[in-house]
Amino acid sequence: MSKPGPGEPQGQTETSIPLSSISIRHRPRHRYAVIGNPNSGKSTLFNRLTGLRQTTGNYPGVTVERHTGTVELKGTAAELIDLPGIYALGGQSTDERIAVDALLGRIDSKPDGLLVVVDATHLYQGLYLLEQLIELQLPMLVALTMSDMARAGGIAIDTDLLSRHLGGIAVVEVTATTGLGVSDLKSELATLHEAPVPVIGQSWPELSQLAQQLADQCGNLDRMDVIQALLLPGGAHDQLASAAMGPDVIPGARNELFGSEPPQAVEARQRYRWAREVRSAVQHEAPLLERFGAKVLAWVNRPWPATALFFLSLVLVFQAVFSWATPLMDAIDAGAAGLGAWVTASLGNGVVASFLADGIIAGVGSVIIFLPQILILFLFIIILEDTGYLARAAFLMDSAMRRVGLSGQSVIPMLSSFACAVPAIMATRVIPDRRDRISTILASPFMTCSARLPIYALLIAAFVPNQSVGWFNLQGLVLFGLYLLGIAGGLMTARLMKSTALRGPKPHFMLALPDFRRPNLQTVMIKLMDRARIFLKRAGTVIFSVAVIVWALAYFPRMDTEAPLPEPVNGQSLENQRAAAQMSQSYLGRIGKVVEPVFEPLGWDWKVSSAVIAGFPAREVVVAVMGTLYAVGSEADEGSLTQKLRAATWPDGRAIFTLPMVLGLMVFYAWCLQCAATVAVIRRETNSWRWPLFAWTYMSAVAYLGAFAVFQVGSLLTGPA
């Protein structure tokens, strides 16, 4: 995924805004980092403040995603940087290191101030992070979110008193979902750069003072650098500080502050004691609203109902993906077929008409058709994530994951792999142990992602009879079986890795469980639009290019139309024979015949083989290529791809797409790693080529063997066709 150009997503939105409002737009003068605990409503607030003026790119020099946006303020504007949600600075997870590096200006220029998002229902943990952030000595502003939730839970917070406990940092109550308090927050943001900088936090003044003293002596280090050096022996800051101050200063200070205790334990004790005291001072009990919803949640939150509900919601998701999307997909299909027929009718049978109808419309159209399904799937995954339900699933599934040597923490990436493995692999950053993280990364691409849906949907609709089996539909059961096959492949891989190359101590499991929350429509829509944009961009670039190349390889060189047919076959029209002959002597036909022997044991002819090979950069391309190949190969353009596949035969007249061959092909797609984006993200997240190459080779081999076994055994059982 490339980073968007300067004017790309926001440029399009800006053009739709009337001229009069462009004139009052300001260029951002200051950059503020938005930071807070996970699930504190930080992203909702960020979206509320910046609206559509957002960009996603990378930090300069490092390949870590960076979300920025512009907020329009009175008479000015500011750039906001959305940092990953974290509980504490100084942790070892990737997200925590990114946040610290961004705050200290290591991977970006240092922000001019901080907008700290504190969840009123989680004041205890919010205050802990806040006190750590004070050591940065930057102007700060606190947005207190979820106070409506806190009130419903019987708690009201005295924001003036809280502000005094924080040494005068402004505290603004906001409800990001309704926009209440956002204008107050904006007027504070407008003057944030000149807000007084907090000097010494109250939770652990001894640490702040000693670190400040050492930083002053040294000259070129900040107080925060010294604190990081003190708290994380052997870390990057420790080496930096030892180089600047000599090897004895930091260990001496450590001894004075922590004695023989682990530094992080002492810090947690000190700061949380203060957080507890402040929390009980600033909050008072409000009348508790005993809500019906709370009672239902309490009942559902018991082991068996919760687990049953989890599986029920998964069934609902997959049901919805298929039944809700059908009308939309039929509409797109009819549109593409109509367009193709119209192009052929109005342009005749020349090169241009074939290029447009067979190359572009048939190729790209056969992939675009799956946009409704993919968006519905993503919608559900985003909702599960935003309601806090994915974390709950991790909690419920921990003991099951323990059997394969992983923990519940791996459940979240694996569930989001059902949408796409790329964000899922990035979500493994929260797993602290490297071996557990890599095992999860290797298991994730096995999960049935949305790009596999086009292939499954096409093949199942064409070759699995639409009949009922007991209460279920056979097509649905086959699809469900393919999902299970993916899950089994992933879990067995994790198990294999954890007992061989990545053997390690039993993983421990800890996870913050967010309260159930209503998802915010704006946040959900922004995430969904982002996914739609990525999918259409892929269809417009990668899939488009491959479709064009494949069309050209299949169309050229042209055969002499007057020449006699090489092998006359009885029972077929002259046009079809001519088209087939043209196809088999095209460049693609020649290439396909070279690789055909490799895939022949799987029952694939050269068309399927070359479609699969063309699909290695992105697996959904295979559908586009088959669309193009079978469109070029047939003279008449009527009939859907399904009908063309059913009619495909070997030269001796046997059907190519027999049930064993189709099942084998689907098994191949359940397990193979045909996705350049996944390979790239594995390389990025593991920081070496070793794991992506291993994953690719391993998954391709498993897929080939699986397809081979299914085809051979299936053919034996069904007898020669």
Is residue 387 within the footprint of other proteins (CB under 8 A)?
no
Stretch that binds other proteins, among 8-16, 124-132, 418-426, 602-610 (CB under 8 A): 124-132
Residue among 84 and 408 whose Cβ is closer to other proteins? 408
Residue 401 near residue 410 (C-beta atoms within 8 A): yes
Stretch that binds other proteins, among 18-26, 243-251, 269-277, 646-654 (CB under 8 A): 269-277
CB of 166 to other proteins, least distance (A): 18
Task: Specify the amino acid at residue 233.
Answer: P
Alpha-carbon dihedral of residues 520, 524, 526, 531, nearest 10 degrees? 170
Residue 200 near residue 211 (C-beta atoms within 8 A): no
Is residue 668 within the footprint of other proteins (CB under 8 A)?
no
Is residue 167 within the footprint of other proteins (CB under 8 A)?
no
Length of the chain measured in residues:
721
Of 58, 137, 191, 264, the one binding other proteins (CB under 8 A) is 264
Is residue 403 within the footprint of other proteins (CB under 8 A)?
no
| β-bridge pairing 468-469 and 472-473 | antiparallel
Q: Which residues inside 418-437 make contact with other proteins, applying CB under 8 A?
A: 432
CB neighbours of 271 closer than 8 A, spacing ≥ 6? 128, 131, 132, 203, 204
Beta bridge mates, 119: 145
Residue 162 near residue 171 (C-beta atoms within 8 A): yes
Nearest to 232 by CA among 146, 156, 132, 126: 132
Residue among 262 and 653 whose Cβ is closer to other proteins? 262
Q: Element (H or E) spanning 646, and its range?
A: helix 641-647
d(CA 660, CA 710): 6
Is residue 398 within the footprint of other proteins (CB under 8 A)?
yes
Neighbours of 352 (CB within 10 A): 11
CB of 499 to other proteins, least distance (A): 20
Of 43, 47, 70, 121, the one binding other proteins (CB under 8 A) is 121
Is residue 654 within the footprint of other proteins (CB under 8 A)?
no
Which residue matches tokens 């030269």? 651
Residue among 86 and 629 whose Cβ is closer to other proteins? 86
- 438, burial (CB in 10 Å: exposed 0-12, middle 13-18, buried 19+): buried
Residue among 59 and 310 whose Cβ is closer to other proteins? 310
Per-residue binder mask for other proteins (CB under 8 A), 491-520, x = binder: --------------x--xxxxxxxx-----
Is residue 394 within the footprint of other proteins (CB under 8 A)?
yes
d(CA 54, CA 71): 9
Residue among 391 and 661 whose Cβ is closer to other proteins? 391
Of 14, 59, 76, 88, the one binding other proteins (CB under 8 A) is 88
Beta bridge mates, 478: none
Is residue 153 within the footprint of other proteins (CB under 8 A)?
yes
Is residue 459 within the footprint of other proteins (CB under 8 A)?
no
Task: Specify the amino acid at residue 612.
Answer: V
Is residue 155 within the footprint of other proteins (CB under 8 A)?
yes
CB neighbours of 142 closer than 8 A, spacing ≥ 6? 116, 117, 118, 130, 162, 163, 166, 169, 170, 171, 172
CB of 69 to other proteins, least distance (A): 28
CA angle 50, 187, 108 (to 5 degrees): 50
How many residues interact with other proteins (rule CB under 8 A)? Answer: 50
Q: Which residues inside 292-331 make contact with other proteins, applying CB under 8 A?
A: 294, 301-304, 306-307
Is residue 395 within the footprint of other proteins (CB under 8 A)?
yes
Is residue 279 within the footprint of other proteins (CB under 8 A)?
yes
CB of 74 to other proteins, least distance (A): 35
Residue among 121 and 658 whose Cβ is closer to other proteins? 121
Task: Specify the amino acid at residue 375.
Answer: L
Alpha-carbon dihedral of residues 96, 98, 104, 107, nearest 10 degrees? 170
Is residue 87 within the footprint of other proteins (CB under 8 A)?
yes
Of 3, 26, 269, 284, the one binding other proteins (CB under 8 A) is 269
The residues that touch other proteins, with contacts defined as CB under 8 A, are 87-88, 91, 121-125, 128, 150, 152-155, 261-262, 264-265, 268-269, 272-273, 275-276, 279, 288, 294, 301-304, 306-307, 394-399, 408, 432, 505, 508-515
